[in-house]
Amino acid sequence: MFKKILIANRGEIALRILRAARELGIRTVVAYSEADQNSLPVLLADESMCIGPAPANASYLNVRNLLSAAAVSGCEAIHPGYGFLAENAEFAEKCEEHNLVFIGPRPETIRRIGDKASARALAVEAGVPITPGSGPLDDVEAAQRFAAEVGYPVMLKASAGGGGRGMRVVQSENELERLFVGAREEARAAFGNPEMYLEKYVEEPKHVEIQVFGDGEGNVVHFYDRDCSIQRRYQKVLEEAPSLLEDDLRARIADAAVTLAKYIRYRGAGTVEFLVDVHGAFYFSEMNTRIQVEHPATELVTRFDLVQEQFRVAAGQGLSVTQDDIEVEGHAIEVRINAEDPAHDFRPSAGTITDVHWPGGPGIRVDSHVYAGYRIPPNYDSLVAKILAWAPTREEAIARMERALRETVIEGVTTTIPFHLDVLENAFYRRGAIYTNFIARRMS
């Protein structure tokens, strides 16, 4: 096992990685920007190193500074968390060139499956169902030709995209040119890659993802599924595990995810995402080559530490479990608490947290890097905490989550807690009638 690692991320995921490492006896070095010098992972780490000023491109995206921090501090490996450089093949290659283990998939895997158009081609080769889609589109005329073939509505997507960036639903030919140009420029600004492709849009689908793990030698297991259908502008805000599917359909989707991961000889933690239509047909959407924000929901229902499993695989120890070892018990719900004002179109609410009280009691987990007196910097995403509730049944988990949210006190900034309470109280949510358009259709 590694003796010392660099954590190349910030916030709650940096703290999550730190805790998993410490339990395995691994020393941690947290890389931080000037804006994060007083964050909890920096204060709790064995060592910490400033890698630049607040802007992400000068710090958390600064490959040279991160590699230098790892070398100077004597680290053997780098954990990228999620976001920033977690799915950057060039960064993974640079780690290898500097004799550092990248705790994630091989660079060539990230490159092949991280590009959305390439990932769809790999899914077809592996025999995994996909929605009708185009290859990379050279211009809006090519997009118009494809849309005319499959019929509207269609979904524009950025080949290098993620987090909802560069995505647009196009309902008619009249909208296509305008939305194509806007999505392409957004993709160029967010990812440095303006390449776009089109998919046939599946209306009112569920967004179901399978947590997979591979050893890089062709052995793959899955840790079952999560439902991530509650989304705002294509970004997830509430997740639960397991999803609300019949057992047979769940098994077929999981088998498809494992098939794809085996086909590409996947190494480490990954998430294979699917859209499931109202008739039970499912289609591959994308694969995320990293640990997910919502991984704690899976940990609660399977009783496995997925970050520690990442360390074991990256250290060459292989998978610690077989598929027969993994079972689901109970139900878990995760909500993302953001410093945003839901009453004013989720306007960011950066500032200093003057007081905080986290919930407790049976079945409650809180992942957060903030504390009373902590200043939320305006330079990054607004995630304050992830609150999770586990219970034997979904109905009990909902009740437990409601109780936990009402116990939570965060003063000094506005948060999304009232919005989450509205979701949990919604009759459609309670009976499981949730689809990716739930917020637009049921919460407006």
Which residues are part of the catalytic machinery?
290
Cα atoms found within 13 Å of the Cα of residue 400, Cβ hemisphere only? 22
- d(CA 287, CA 277) in angstroms, rounded, equals 19
Phi first, then psi: what are they for 324, rounded to 5°? -70, -20
| Contact between 236 and 225 (Cβ < 8 Å) | no
Instruction: Tell me how many degrees the CA angle 231-206-148 measures, rounded to the nearest 5.
Output: 95
In 3D space, the residue among 195, 187, 192, 191 whose CA is nearest the CA of residue 139 turns out to be 195
Structure token pair of residue 188: 């160029």
Query: What Å distances lie between residue 40 and 13, 14, 35, 121, CA to CA?
Result: 11, 9, 12, 42
Task: Identify how many contiguous H helices and E strands the chain contains and give both numbers.
Answer: 15, 22
In 3D space, the residue among 19, 11, 2, 10 whose CA is nearest the CA of residue 299 turns out to be 19
State the first-to-last Cα distance of the chain, in angstroms, to the nearest integer.
50
In 3D space, the residue among 368, 349, 444, 360 whose CA is nearest the CA of residue 408 turns out to be 360
Query: What Å distances lie between residue 310 and 46, 47, 91, 106, CA to CA?
Result: 20, 21, 18, 13
- d(CA 189, CA 182) in angstroms, rounded, equals 11
| Contact between 79 and 8 (Cβ < 8 Å) | yes
- d(CA 12, CA 244) in angstroms, rounded, equals 28
Instruction: Tell me how many degrees the CA angle 243-248-252 measures, rounded to the nearest 5.
Output: 85
The burial of 324, by beta-carbon neighbours within 10 Å (0-12 exposed, 13-18 middle, 19 or more buried), is given as exposed
- d(CA 369, CA 319) in angstroms, rounded, equals 29
Query: What Å distances lie between residue 322 and 65, 135, 326, CA to CA?
Result: 39, 37, 7
Buried b (16+ CB within 10 A) or exposed e, 229-249: bbbbebbbbbbbbbbbbeeeb
- d(CA 97, CA 264) in angstroms, rounded, equals 22
